[in-house]
Each structure stands twice: as structure tokens, then as C-alpha cells.
Structure 1
């Protein structure tokens, strides 16, 4: 007998999905931010090596969070996995190709000591950081607008859009929010791990990115209040078998803000998004690195949580056929599958957390020209 009811397990897995996404943004997100900063914060080959060696020892472990997130979607929300991976196929290919540039850039950059060779791979590392950071946000923006898909009578998804249809003004705004917040996070990590001119440039860029995050996040919030959101207009059984076609959905202006009126405690998420960016800006300005790191982490947590709480209970709204939209209550795996996966998560998630903490502790300490010179394995 399963001790947790179906409704509770669905809600738990919705929360776990959010935790995994936040975990990815907090860990691999600063890798992406540092990559995006590489051509601007570092002006010499030595300075670029310093930034690369901040990221190099940990980026592979950080990407575990992305794999865990994809695995969680596959196991807990198979309908979401099927629709998103088919609808966003080209966007995901672009992300994967950009991410592939990172390990290739790390390995190949130092093979030839020629300025042109290294400059090419430096820009490849920039693309590997900036492009995924931007497109992840674009994807979230499209989810808030609704994705053009439908389900037939056998629940097979049919996507009607194209890659360039994803590049709408609001989606691009969401992408800029994502890029700005990760640039702040990357800049903060740079300032905590190194010193000198490269850290000073990162500090100045990070402060500007923090102000951009505040402005862009606020603009996105105003825009969300003006665009049509989705509302379930029929009674939806939270413990029934998954069937996305068993409900009625309509569009309503400002619907994405309705959850905050019903549950005012949810306002904590956007407050954290703004407050964290303000603290990061202040911490970078006062050179209080702990304050800056706490602020950037809070900002990322609040911004991602804002998107999730605004959408709830929707996982993926359909602009083509709103009734086919996927929600927390009708797009999950079976009761038994969710329970089995939860048991596995209880065992393995603490191991991942412990391993991540151990790696960060081992790899802690300043990264500078002297430390790179002493390390034969440096990039």
C-alpha cells in the first residue's frame, strides 16, 4: 500500500521539479554566466585562463542537475517530456550544441599557443555560456504565452510551431531576464574566487547586470499582467488518472496573477527575485562577497519560483487547443511510478548534494595566476 495519496505525490513532484531547476540554475548557472562574461571581464590570455579554471574543475558535476531535471520530467511527467522535447526540439538542439562547445573549448584551447586559435575557442566558450542562458529563458517565456500543440484521441502530441515562432518579444524578454540573472551570478562567483583587474571588471559588469535584472524582471511582471493567461474552468479531480483532455480551459487577461490574489504568501517569490538582485548589487558595490552571493542565489530562486507559481497548476499550456494543456493533475505518471521515483530520490538526491558540497570544498580557494602556475592540470 502506498502511504501517500496521488494528489500529494503529484504536488511533491511539482515541487521537486522546481528544486531541480533552481539547483541547476544555482550551480551550472554560474558556469554559463562566467562563459558569457569571458570576453568582457578578461582581457589577456592569463585572465581568461583564470576564469576558465574557476569553471573547469566543476562544470561537469554541475550539469548533473540538468540531467536530473530531464530525468525527473521523463519519469514523473511523461506527457510534458513528450510535448516539450518535440515542440522545442530545434531550440534544445541549439542548447546542446552550445553546451558541447564548453568541453571542446576547455580541452582544445590550450593545445596550441597561438592568439587566433585561443581567441576562437574563447568565443566558443562565450557562445556556450550566453546562448543556453538566453534560450532557457526564451523557453519559459513561451510556456507562459502558451505552446502551439494539440493532443489527438490517443493523447499523441502534435506541434504546430517552428523555431522562429519561439522568438516572440515577450519570450525574448524572458530570455534576457535569464541571461542577466546568470551573468550576475557568474560575476559574483568570479569576485569571490579571484582578485585583480579581472575581478574588478566582473564586479562592475555584475552591478550593471543586477540593475538590468531588476528592470527586466519588473517589465516582465507588468507584461504578464497584460497578456492572456490560462484558467481551468471545469472541476478537475486531483487524484484521477492522467488524461489532459478531460477538462475545460479558457483564456483570461491577467490570469497568471490570480494565484497571488488567492494565496498572498506566493508574493514572496517575486519579492525574493527583486530583493536578491538588490542585495547582489549592493554586495558587489561594497565588496561584501557573501552578501553578493546570497543575493544572486536568492534572486535566481525567486525568479524561477515566480514563473512556477504563476503557472500553477499548469505545466505546459496549449495555445492551439487550451483544453489540451498539461497540468499538475492530469499529466503525471501513475501513482506507483511517482512513489517509486520518490523513494529513489530520497536515496540519491542527498548523495548528489553531499558530492556537490564535497567537490566545492575541495575546489575552493582563490584562483589566480600563481595557483594556475602551480597546478600542472590547469587549463
Structure 2
């Protein structure tokens, strides 16, 4: 039904959708964790904040597992390069994520203040470190990574963990953290009341401003200070996957030229900035659900901007640009893509409908009274 070229492009879209779903849903989870020590001062207040995501955080985290599984099945060369070359960084992400289930499940086991305070900080770390590391990863996707392939197409990473922490990548990590915190603050506005609501509103004011300024600086850095590689010779898009069969120059026409050559892509950064700007303006008032919706659209726009800006690259090699991975030469076989496509077409709508139903059932304000009433069923 779909030729090799079409199914490759379809899977690029599918994986992008999964990445956006992860960023939007797990984004506010991370934001709630990073804001926990600052918007909730007493034990009962922190229980209120924790329970705003207590029933859904595990489901949201499944999007990350789905994203990793999809990359493994669809882009095995990308998976092998990232998960072997960036092993230390990936391990740090996993270690940071370990704090989350432990914090949620063990915090309420004892009423001791020191015990609960320790797990509160664990939840804070679990909500703070992953966004920073994911932001650093995004920054390095733009900069490129030092890797090459040997004659057997085995990826060899030529860099180190510390080399990932360049000024631009760290800026992306900070912007990512501010973005998830802003998104989480808007989510808390939708689900809390009283003094927590007031503190969150103040956080929205400052975080929104910092996020917009950070994005402007990041975009300016990319457009004015970074080179973009350009493919000068590429096999047919339906040819077998082999990243060695193309020619790439390290400094092409640049990021601005790339977007201008594909003017429809400009809709992504417009959506990103407009969505976050409207979320900030509305978030300072009473239109809390609308503000959260615009924040979600803004996050989607930012990720689309990253994807469109890199297109068709998936991983850029700074060691040897000719072996950079693209969606045309880093995919699994045609049969694998088709089989995975039909499986996804059946089960992804079910997952989305179930997720929608869960949030519909569980939606509503979490208050101190409701937490005290359900002491044995809530965190």
C-alpha cells in the first residue's frame, strides 16, 4: 500500500507525534516535581501538589518507553548511536527517573517529617534533572555529535560526556527546565486552589517571561551562530538504508535558508512562540485551562521547529558529515516499517482514547479537604 519512501516519511511523523505527546504530558509532570518545594510549604500542601499528578504520572511516562521502543524498531542506527555513544547521559536520565516512583510510593509510608522531606527532594530531582538532560540532548542534536561508522556499519562515538555540556547545549537544558516548570505551573493552576493557586500564579508570571526570553536567545544563537550541514548527493529515497551512500558538506546554506526554502515549515516556530506567549498572557489571569492548552500547542510548535529544522537529518555527525543519519538511510526494512505501521494504526487510537477517558474521569481540583478525606487512597 505504501512504498518505502512514503512509509519512511509516515514513521518520521509518527515518532514526532509520540515525542510531542511525551513532552506535553510528562512535561507538566516534571514541572510539578520541580515546583514542589517552592509552591507547597507544608506537608498537606505538598500532598495536594503531588496528588494533582498522582493518578496519571505513570501513564504519562509510558510515552517515553514508547518513544525509545519506536526508535529501536524504526531507526535502529539512531538507537545504536545514541544509546551507545551517550550511554552515561542516558544512564543519568534513568537514574533521575528512578527518584520519581520511589518518591511517590515511599513518601507516605511514614509520617516522619524528615522522611517525607527527603522524598520531596527526591521528587524535585526527578522533575528537574530529566528536563535539563533532555534539553542538553536537543541542543546536541542541533550542534551534531562526533560519531562515525566502521566498514561493518558499527557506530563509533568519538566524544565524551563532558563534551556534551557545551554552552549552547546547557542553554537548551535551562530553557527546557523553565519550559516544563512553566507548563507544570499552568497545570497546577487548573487543579489547585487557595494559597497554592496564588503561588503558582506568581510562578507563571516569572517563568513565562524567562521562557520567552530564553527561546529568543536560543533561536538567535542557532540562526546567527551555527552552521547547518547540507546534503549534496543522496540516493533515491526508496533505496536500501545505508548512511555511507551520500555526500554532505558541513556548512550549507544555513538554518534561515532552510526554513525559507520550505516556507510552510515557518508555521512551527510561529505556533511555538504564539502558543507560549498566549499561555503566559492568559496564565496570569483566570483562563487557566485555555492557557494550559496554548502551552501544549507551544511545546508542540517548539518540537516541530526542531524536527523541521533538522529535516531530513536525524543525527548530524561532526566527525564525518557524510555518515550523518537521515530518515531516508537510517530506517529498518520496508517490511518492518509496514508491520509496525499496521500495529500502531490499531493500538495508538486505543491508547489515545483511553488516555482521554482517564483524564476526563480524574479531572478536577485537588484540595486539602479532599486529600484529608481520602487519606488511605491518595498519596
- Matched ranges for 1:299-314 at <5 A: 299-314=298-313
Shift of 1:253: 6.1
Which one of the candidate residues 34, 37, 40 is aligned to 1:39? 37
1:273 is aligned to 2:272: yes
What is the aligned-residue RMSD (CA, Å)? Answer: 1.1
Shift of 1:310: 0.3
Distance 1:360 1:353 in 2: 11
| Cα pair 1:207 1:280 within 8 Å, conserved | no
Shift of 1:259: 2.6
Q: Deviations over 1:196-219 (max 9, x none)?
A: 111111121122111111111111
1:195 is aligned to 2:193: yes
| Cα pair 1:189 1:293 within 8 Å, conserved | yes
1:378 is aligned to 2:370: no
1:258 is aligned to 2:235: no
| Cα pair 1:181 1:296 within 8 Å, conserved | no
Question: What is the total number of aligned residue pairs between the two structures?
Answer: 377
Distance 1:277 1:37 in 2: 19
1:362 is aligned to 2:364: no
- Matched ranges for 1:203-352 at <5 A: 203-225=201-223, 226-252=225-251, 255-352=254-351
**TM-score between both structures, scaled by the size of structure 2:** 0.97
Distance 2:153 2:364 in 1: 52
Secondary structure of 2:82's aligned partner = helix
- Matched ranges for 1:99-114 at <5 A: 99-114=97-112
Distance 2:228 2:186 in 1: 35
Secondary structure of 1:242's aligned partner = coil
Which one of the candidate residues 66, 84, 87 is aligned to 1:86? 84
Which deviates more, 72-81 or 229-238?
A: 229-238
Which deviates more, 259-268 or 28-37?
A: 259-268
Which deviates more, 276-285 or 329-338?
A: 276-285
Distance 2:181 2:194 in 1: 19
Shift of 1:242: 0.2
| Cα pair 2:234 2:245 within 8 Å, conserved | no
Distance 2:300 2:252 in 1: 26
| Cα pair 1:224 1:254 within 8 Å, conserved | no
1:60 is aligned to 2:58: yes
Q: Deviations over 1:288-320 (max 9, x none)?
A: 112211221111001111110000000000011
Which one of the candidate residues 69, 90, 93 is aligned to 1:95? 93
The equivalent residue for 1:13 is 11
Secondary structure of 2:230's aligned partner = strand
Distance 2:257 2:197 in 1: 43
Distance 1:8 1:353 in 2: 24
Distance 1:312 1:258 in 2: 13
Structure 1 stretches of 4+ moved >4 Å:
none
| Cα pair 2:29 2:184 within 8 Å, conserved | yes
Shift of 1:67: 1.2
Q: Deviations over 1:145-180 (max 9, x none)?
A: 010111011100001111111110111111122111
Shift of 1:254: 6.0
Distance 1:48 1:28 in 2: 19
Distance 1:161 1:371 in 2: 52
| Cα pair 2:204 2:284 within 8 Å, conserved | no
Secondary structure of 1:158's aligned partner = strand
| Cα pair 2:230 2:253 within 8 Å, conserved | no
Distance 1:355 1:161 in 2: 42
Distance 2:130 2:204 in 1: 19
Question: Which residues of structure 1 form unaligned runs of 5+?
Answer: none
Q: Deviations over 1:272-303 (max 9, x none)?
A: 11111111111111121122112211110011
Secondary structure of 1:297's aligned partner = helix
